[in-house]
Amino acid sequence: MSQEKINRSEWENPDNWGGPVFMSLYFSKRDSRIWVPKQIPWTGWTVNLAHTGGVLWFFAVIVGAMLLVVASAFYTIAYR
């Protein structure tokens, strides 16, 4: 079986998805992709949290969002 077919098979397996369908998280070591379409493809992409790269991307996005909030709060307080 080709890796593309394995990826498709893993993506279609409901056991690899957690959470509600519109906000689901994906976990599959057999899927070689780090970024995968969400269960409802028009809602965007998600990371494969079974891969180190996926976990790093996940935390980078969270930390980036937190830095934006902190920078915005600092700017608001400093330049009021």
Residues 15-71: tens digit of each pLDDT: 999 988 888 899 999 999 999 999 998 989 999 999 999 999 999 999 999 999 999
pTM across the whole model: 0.77
> Residue 75 has which token pair?
């700017």
SS3 at position 18: strand
25, 19 Cβ separation under 8 angstroms: yes
Alpha-carbon gap, residue 39 to 20, rounded angstroms: 10
